[in-house]
C-alpha cells in the first residue's frame, strides 16, 4: 500500500500497480473487469491486462448537489439502479428535487451505454467475478451504485478495486462488496486528483479507443 503522501504518475501507471495487487488477491475465474467511465477506464484497462481478462464498462453517473455539482448526493447506474446518500435529506434536497436530478443523469447513462458499449447487449455477468475499477473513490456513491448494478446483472461475486479511496468510502464498500483492493487510504482526502501527477480529463473518444483496443485483443 502506498504511503499517504505518494502519488501516481497517471491513471495508466496506477492501473498497472493496481492490476498486480488484484492478480495476487483475486485468483478467481472467470473474471471480467468493468471500468467506470471516464476516468476509471484507463485504470481498468491496465487491470484487465494484468489479469488477462476482458474489459467492459459499468456506466454510472453521480447525482450532484444543485448548488455544488461536485458534491455527490447519490448516483444512478445501468440496470435502473439508484443510490441516494442520506446527506441529501440533511442538505434539504426533497424527493422531487432529487428525482429531477436523477432523471437527467439516467438519460446520460443511457447515452453512454449506447456510445461506449458499441451496440453490445446489456451486461450479463452470470457466474462471473466482476471487478469494478475507478481512478479513486471520494464519497462512494457512484461505486455503490455500480456494485449493486453488477449484482443485478448476475455477478457471482463483486470486487471493488481502486488506487485510492477515502476511509469512509472504503468502509462502506467493504460492507457490501465480496472483497476490496484499495492501494491507498489516505488520512485526508480532499480530491482524487491530489494523488495523481497527471489527472487530465478524458474525452469520450479516448475511452472508446481503449475499449476498442481491449476488445480486439480478446478476439
Q: What is the DSSP string of 71-132?
A: EEEEEEETTTEEEE-THHHHTT--HHHHHHHHHHHHHHHHHHHHHHTTTPPPP--BT-EEEE
pLDDT of residue 123: 86
Low-confidence ranges of the chain (pLDDT < 70): 1-5, 26-28, 86-90, 219
135-172: per-residue pLDDT in tens? 999 989 999 999 999 999 999 999 999 999 999 999 99
pLDDT of residue 67: 83
Alpha carbons 203 and 143: distance in angstroms, whole number: 21
pLDDT of residue 5: 59
| Conformation bin of residue 75: beta by default, left when phi > 0, alpha when psi is -120 to 50 | beta
Q: How many Å from the N-terminal Cα to the C-terminal Cα in the chain?
A: 34
pTM of the model: 0.91
In angstroms, the Cα distances linking 108 to 42, 159, 191, 194 are: 20, 25, 23, 27
pLDDT of residue 219: 65
Structural domains in the chain, sorted by start: 11-59+125-217 (3.40.50.2020)
Contact 173, 147 (CB under 8 A): yes
Half-sphere exposure of 175 (CA within 13 A, CB side): 7
Amino acid at each position: 500500500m502506498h504511503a499517504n503522501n505518494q502519488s501516481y504518475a497517471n491513471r495508466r501507471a496506477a492501473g498497472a500497480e493496481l492490476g498486480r495487487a488484484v492478480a495476487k488477491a483475486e485468483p478467481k475465474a472467470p473474471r471480467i473487469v468493468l471500468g467506470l467511465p471516464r476516468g476509471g477506464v484507463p485504470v481498468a484497462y491496465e487491470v484487465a491486462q494484468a489479469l488477462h481478462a476482458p474489459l467492459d464498462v459499468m456506466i454510472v453517473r453521480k447525482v450532484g448537489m444543485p448548488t455544488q455539482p461536485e458534491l455527490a448526493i447519490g448516483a444512478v447506474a445501468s440496470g435502473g439502479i439508484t443510490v441516494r446518500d442520506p446527506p441529501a435529506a440533511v442538505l434539504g434536497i426533497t424527493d422531487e428535487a432529487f428525482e429531477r436530478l436523477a432523471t437527467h443523469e439516467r438519460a446520460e447513462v443511457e447515452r453512454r451505454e449506447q456510445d461506449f458499449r458499441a451496440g453490445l447487449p446489456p451486461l450479463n455477468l452470470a457466474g462471473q467475478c466482476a471487478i469494478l475499477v475507478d481512478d479513486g473513490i471520494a464519497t462512494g456513491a457512484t461505486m455503490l451504485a455500480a456494485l449493486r448494478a453488477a449484482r443485478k446483472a448476475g455477478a457471482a461475486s463483486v470486487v471493488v478495486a481502486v488506487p485510492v479511496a477515502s476511509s469512509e468510502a472504503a468502509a462502506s464498500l467493504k460492507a457490501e462488496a465480496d472483497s476490496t483492493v484499495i492501494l491507498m487510504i489516505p488520512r485526508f482526502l480532499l480530491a482524487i486528483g491530489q494523488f495523481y501527477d497527471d489527472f487530465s480529463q478524458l474525452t469520450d473518444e479516448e475511452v472508446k479507443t481503449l475499449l476498442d483496443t481491449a476488445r480486439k485483443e480478446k478476439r
